[in-house]
Chain A
Amino acid sequence: MSTLNKTATVPAPREGAGHTGPLLEVKDLHVEFHTRDGVAKAVNGVNYSVNAGETLAVLGESGSGKSVTAQAIMGILDMPPGRIPKGEILFRGEDMLKMSDEERRKIRGRKIAMIFQDALSSLNPVLSVGYQLGEMFRVHQGLSKKDATRKAIELMDKVKIPAAKARVSDYPHQFSGGMRQRIMIAMALALEPDLIIADEPTTALDVTVQAQVMDLLAELQREYNMGLILITHDLGVVADVADKIAVMYAGRIVEQAPVHELYARPAHPYTRGLLDSIPRLDQKGQELYAIKGLPPNLLKVPTGCAFNPRCPKATDLCRTEIPALVPVTEQDGADLPGRKSACHFWKETIHG
């Protein structure tokens, strides 16, 4: 592979040592998909940021735009039909959307890595896991095949895969679901990136394995002091690991808050609905709450607040006026750092 040495000698993107802001900052990001039936607006002005060592959980249903945002950050959106008409994605202060393909490629895997939901389909079925792990070192660091395999075994040990040495030449289908997800994590960690994006990393796993995998991810994040964007629809997963939460609905962030405050006092009816739909032991025998209605069709998002057809508190204002994401304060006007809500009636929701 003649490309190996070439890529290895090109210097890595400049370390953002001098940069003091957040590790990653998404500013007013818009993403749309051009289909033959019209334009689907998947992301409509998302803002969020992550610092080193911090975990941001992005919460939302299917179609809320949480995964699309992540793919835009990673630069793995299918374009076309996808398009980014507006917005910035700053990594260490530099806008990645303005970089060349080659610059972005060097960030992928090395500086920002991603863990996908379905490890079975996300790993190449006909290449051994050792090859797929070692590939990271061969391509980005120019290691020989032998050294790359040695590093792959180390990585597998690191993510606690038993008998790593014996299993390095096995294929993905020969591993259990939990072990496969560990391999995905190992692959993301290989080059000790600054930021990891985990897209529903535990959704496809058994409940018992979910906790193990989450714990492993959290432990490794602490060890390397990485930023982590955790994309999920599972409120249960979030509580233990996240520092802050962004709740997305129809391509917008509807609420942002530090994790425990969000659970204690949601400031958006959608968040409240999500929290109320968690089954609780003390409500045994009662009917489970569910948000009525269906997620919006992105080809024709409702006017005004996108959540209004499903919102128990919707008024005419909600049907015409798009609510801005505004800072949330205490009743006396005292600051609540890090809290924002995009609801016309956030006061009533949080304090009512």
Chain B
Amino acid sequence: MPDVTKTATAVEDAVAPPSATEPKGRHKPEKARSLWGDAWADLRRNPYFLVSSVLIAFLLLVSAWPSLFTSASPTTGDLVKHFLGKPELGNIGSEGWFGYDQQGRSVYARLIYGTRASIIVGVCVTAIVTIVGGLMGMIAGYFGGAWDAILSRITDIFFGIPFLLGAMVVLQAFTERTVWVVVGALAFLGWTQMARVMRGAVITVKQADYVHAAKALGAGTTRILFRHILPNAMAPLIVVATIALGGYISAEATLSYLGLGLASPTVSWGVDISTAVDQIRVAPHVLLWPSIMLSLTVLAFIMLGEAVRNALDPKLR
């Protein structure tokens, strides 16, 4: 390691080991930065972060106010317009921009209105599993002993069931599968991943000197957990949660494709892809557009997670 790194980063050494190949002299090395401050500075310059956050902001907007983007209805079709009519790509933003599906409904309108289902599933499942899994992991990691043994076994039990298979079995039990049923099914099986990540992070943080110091100063368990351990063990959880969010969106679509997720009349990309598959040879565009939107959305969240991970993990810089 070039010695130069040591000087330039001497102040930052407390939070981040200096990288071996990139001596990071800062503009203001005199001022100490926190891990999060440093990560933010790093993120702002990361093109992946910029692209993904713009995409996500756009998707959130679309899912909140779909009527801003199209005047056409996603559910009423005009059979005259049939799916064999070619997309009018030049006619940007019009009802027939991406063509029509089998029932003469605007593919574009369905894309816009389908965003909401994916975003709700992704965000809600992630919120639930992060809170539930995070708490489970924190308890198991911090208290150890019997707590850890029991919670870890429960986690193992859920982890043993393949995710997709488990979700299929749960969803099969419901005849009316709304968005919330899908959210419940995915969350029921998804929390184990978060619990494992959090448990590992808490065990690492627990051994840090500042936790011993807080204990020595007489801080209570709750205070230690939420003031000292949680903020320091959050980083990996946030990264995994962001990447998993994309995965849940993908899982929802996959389940809908398998006929066990959302179903018509709910408008969702997965439902559209599932019906479009039957016309793959005559009208590939009906399959193509929702597939592209779905992949882009998943990509945006995965890219965001990656960018956050790189910013939080100085080793990868």
Contacts and interface: CB of A to CB of B under 8 A. Distances in A.
Assess A/B contact in the complex (Cβ within 8 A).
Answer: yes
Given A40-B8, A294-B10, A297-B29, A62 B3 contact: yes
B214 to A, nearest CB: 30
A172 interface: no
A298 B1 CA distance: 15
Interface in B1-22: 1-4, 6-8, 10, 20-22
Contacts of A65: 3-4
Contacts of B7: 62-63, 295-298
Q: Which of A36, A63, A64, A65 has the most CB of B within 10 A?
A: A63
A67 interface: yes
Interface stretch (A76-84, A258-266, A339-347): A76-84
A13 to B, nearest CB: 27
Interface residues of A, dominant DSSP: loop
B23 interface: yes
A42 interface: yes
A298 B25 CA distance: 8
A162 interface: no
Contacts of B228: none
Interface string B16-41: 00001111111101000000000000
A68 interface: yes
Contacts of B23: 33, 35, 40, 42, 81, 298
Interface in A47-87: 62-68, 71, 77-78, 81-82
A102 interface: no
B26 A37 contact: yes
Interface in A271-298: 294-298
A42 B5 CA distance: 10
A67 B25 CA distance: 18
Nearest to A248: B3
A35 B3 contact: no
Contact of B20 (A38, A64, A78, A295): A78
Contacts of B26: 37
Contacts of A295: 7, 10
B108 to A, nearest CB: 43
A37 to B, nearest CB: 5
Interface residues of A, number: 25
Contacts of B24: 35-37
Nearest to B27: A37
Contact of B2 (A37, A67, A296, A299): A67
A82 B8 contact: no
B25 A42 contact: no
Contacts of B21: 78, 81
A62 B8 contact: no
Contact of A62 (B6, B22, B25, B29): B6
B27 A77 contact: no
Interface in B256-274: none
B8 A67 contact: no
A64 B3 contact: yes
A66 B6 CA distance: 12
Contacts of B4: 33, 40, 42, 63, 65, 68, 298
A40 B29 CA distance: 13
A108 to B, nearest CB: 18
B25 A35 contact: yes
B18 to A, nearest CB: 11
B39 to A, nearest CB: 16
Contacts of B2: 33, 42, 67-68, 71, 77-78, 82
A68 B4 CA distance: 8
Nearest to B1: A67
Interface string B72-85: 00000000000000
A298 B24 CA distance: 11
Contacts of A297: 7-8, 25, 29
Given A298-B8, A299-B8, A66 B27 contact: no
B189 to A, nearest CB: 36
B25 A299 contact: yes
Contacts of B29: 297, 299
A26 to B, nearest CB: 16
Contacts of B22: 35, 81
Contacts of A42: 2-4, 23
B8 A66 contact: no
A298 B23 CA distance: 10
Q: Which of B4, B6, B21, B26 has the most CB of A within 10 A?
A: B4
23 contacts: A33-B4, A33-B23, A35-B24, A36-B24, A40-B23, A40-B25, A42-B2, A42-B3, A62-B3, A63-B7, A66-B3, A67-B2, A68-B2, A68-B3, A78-B2, A294-B10, A295-B10, A296-B7, A297-B7, A298-B4, A298-B8, A298-B23, A299-B25
Interface of A: 33, 35-38, 40, 42, 62-68, 71, 77-78, 81-82, 294-299
Given A37-B26, A42-B2, 6 more contacts: A62-B7, A63-B6, A71-B2, A294-B10, A295-B7, A297-B29
Closest 6 CB pairs of A and B: A63-B7, A62-B6, A299-B25, A67-B3, A42-B4, A78-B21
